Amino acid sequence: MAHTDQHQCHVLCRSCDLVVQKRALPSPVRALCPRCGTALYDTPYCSINGMLALCIAALIMFFPANLLPVLEIHFLGSIRNTTAFQAAIAVGDQGYWVVGVAVAISAVIAPLLLLSSILAQVCIAKFALHLELGKKTLRMLLKQQGLLSQLTMLEIYVLSFLVSAFQLSDFADVHMGMGTFCFTMLFLLLLFLQREYNLEHMWGLLDDN
């Protein structure tokens, strides 16, 4: 009995295993571990509909962002351009497949999987939480969430095509186009989506039912 009570009003720090008493927090405040400073919890709030909107917008943006060239150079009359995925393939073709795979996963595959996973989670939360299959799928998706969001590196990719543009402007004319714009928009949408998303809250959905 005593143990079940402790469950509710305590949290454990994931970094140092300290037992911390849980208190109610106002919404923009985050509780930090008093001993090691790790973020412990905040008021888990996320608007399911807002997430759905951001997620669909990001998925729509994903396709032009990856099909249109992110960078184009004009060099002595010849024009060359590349998308994120083609760039990964190009490095792989040179025999550096470790680099190619790393680039493809972090710039293309992981973001797509992350978006699809969040879309599926939101749909389950809205429509299928009462079904056993829905709960099972949600549990499976939530387990992968941490890994997927760590592998997604759109912010770094956006910075990297700016860096490449500056470096290449030494040799050739560099042009940015619709693809660059879409990629940047994709990055912004995902950024806001990840701000809205709260893993703790999503796990909480499984608790209540």
Partner 1 sequence: MTTSSSLDNQTQIQGMNKGLCLCKVCRKINLTSNGSCTRCHAPLATRNYASIGQSWALLITAVILLVLANIYPITLITNRGVVTNDTIFSGTVHLVKTGMIPIAIIVFTASVLVPWLKIIGLAIYLTAISFNLPVSKKKLMVGFHIIEWIGRWSMLDLFVISITVALVNMGQLLDAKPAPAATAFALVILLTQLAAKVLDTRLLWDRLEPQNDAK
Interface residues with partner 1 (CB under 8 A) are 3, 6-7, 10-12, 14-19, 34-38, 70-71, 73, 75-76, 78, 80-82, 86-91, 94, 96, 98-100, 102-103, 106-107, 139, 142-143, 150, 153, 156-157, 159-161, 163-164, 166-168, 170-172, 200, 203, 206-207
Pick between residue 71 and residue 122 the one whose CB is nearest to partner 1.
71
Q: How many CB atoms lie within 10 A of CB 151?
A: 16
Give the pair of three-digit tokens for residue 174: 């560099």
**In the complex, minimum distance from the CB of residue 32 to partner 1, in angstroms, rounded to a whole number:** 11
Where helices occur in 94-131 by DSSP H, the ranges are: 97-104, 110-123
Q: Which is nearer to partner 1, 69 or 122 (CB)?
A: 69
Alpha-carbon distances, residue 135 vs 51, 114, 162, 191 (angstroms): 19, 18, 42, 26
In the complex, what is the shortest distance from the CB of residue 198 to partner 1, in angstroms, rounded to a whole number?
12
Cβ proximity to partner 1, 10 vs 195, nearer residue: 10
**Within a 10 A sphere around the Cβ of 159, how many other Cβ atoms?**
12
173 in helix, strand or coil? strand
CB closer to partner 1 out of 61 and 88: 88
The phi and psi torsions of 115 (rounded to 5 degrees) equal -65, -45
Nearest distance from residue 27's CB to partner 1, in Å?
20
Please state the closest distance from residue 115 (CB atom) to partner 1, in A: 18
Q: How far apart are CA 74 and CA 165, in angstroms?
A: 12
Q: Tell me the closest approach of the beta carbon of residue 39 to partner 1, in angstroms.
A: 9
Q: How far apart are CA 18 and CA 44, in angstroms?
A: 21
Which residue, 55 or 158, is less far from partner 1 as judged by CB? 158
